[in-house]
Amino acid sequence: MPNFHRVVITGIGAVTPIGNNIDEYLLGLQTGANGVSDITLFNPEQHPCKFAAEVKNLQSENFIEAKESKRWDRFSQFGVIAAKQAFNDSGLEITEANESRIGVIIGSGVGGLLTMESQAQILSHKGPKRVSPFTVPMMIPNMATGLAAIALGAKGPSSAVSTACAAGSNAIGDSFRLLQLGKADAMICGGAEASITPLGVAGFASAKALSFRNDSPQTASRPFDAERDGFVIGEGSGILVLETLESAKKRGAKIYAEIIGYGSTCDAHHITSPSPGGTGGAAAIKLAIDDSSINTAQVDYINAHGTSTAANDKNETSAIKSIFKDRSYLIPVSSTKSMTGHLLGGSGGIEAVACILSLTHNFVPPTINYVNPDPDCDLDYVPNNARDAQIRVALSNSFGFGGHNVCLAFSKLD
């Protein structure tokens, strides 16, 4: 049997609709902040959904030169900014001696949708000669990874994951595996997304996936509530620095938590709907628990995928019950998407950060907008207000179109 390395988190970064750095994001989670408002990134007048969870007041010039930012899609900007935050937080230094041992994996469900749309319009109205030479590198979904690696000088294992709304969590899990196996000493990983565009909003609206609560946008994201009617699209990025315990201890790094388990499955059922009873999600949860060598009695908090759609929330509740049985009712289960909206491929990144903040600050973030209990969703969803709690082990669920399911397990370091 291989001698697996233990893996810890030494840096975190976040760009979200409720805060553009870790301190702001932590405060937002603790106070039940609401990041949803009317769309400002384009004119939504003709759209049936006119609201989203946008990143606001981001000072990108503090991280990216203005000339460079014009050549980067919005999702890449979010990813690089969060990566730089996490890297600076970690205290890592990249040198010629270690550059090949530090890698980057950043997931994105959609990639550079804004670039694709805008350049398609230029092609249609002005012809092919007017299309930007930066079109392809701006829109391909691996470019957040590439640009972060360039910015930091990381020459180790590098890839991009595109498993829809599970992408950020898959990126973290895949990085965890590389470190366990000794293929790297540190990995910069997470997710980034920026799909609040005319096509993105119209596409999800046509699929009946979005909430249409235009008269009350701030109450639209209501996971597990009986009157939920769809998700609220969000944007941003969450990035972790994962490091082998040996590496972190050798350089005297501060350690937030340990990542102890990773489960990944596929429903093989439907392009958008989860498998009945949440069987695929349940399998991912079981794999993460088995991988971590803990038992179900040790789980103190579950950060749910919790999209605020009818099918997801019901099936995720069933998945949790199938694994934890009667103890399901004793475990706090909250959806931070009630505050941030759904970041698609970026959601796993910011929700992993939320779990780490829960572990380090001993609290459970709330599910805001929870008013009307649903008989099919009858767990403890931490309604409306954060809760002080001693959290030792936390799980983060991410489920994506195509049937992709991921569960990550985090714990305080022994």
Instruction: Identify the DSSP state of 141.
Output: T
d(CA 72, CA 56): 18
Q: How far is CA 128 from the centre of its chain?
A: 36
Q: Active-site residue among 49, 305, 377, 407?
A: 305
Instruction: Identify the DSSP state of 275.
Output: P
Give the number of C-alpha atoms closer than 13 A to the C-alpha of residue 59, restricted to the C-beta side: 3
Residue 227 burial by Cβ neighbours in a 10 Å radius (0-12, 13-18, 19+) = exposed
Q: Active-site residue among 5, 49, 189, 342?
A: 342
Coil, helix or strand for 409?
strand
d(CA 309, CA 47): 19
d(CA 242, CA 18): 24
- Residue 200 sits at φ, ψ, to 5 deg, of -60, -50
Q: Active-site residue among 165, 355, 377, 407?
A: 165
- Can 305 be counted among the known catalytic residues? yes
Residue 67 burial by Cβ neighbours in a 10 Å radius (0-12, 13-18, 19+) = exposed
Q: What is each CA distance from 7 to 4, 184, 187, 396, 410, in whole angstroms?
A: 9, 11, 10, 17, 10
d(CA 296, CA 171): 25
- Can 125 be counted among the known catalytic residues? no
What are the residue numbers of the active site? 165, 305, 342
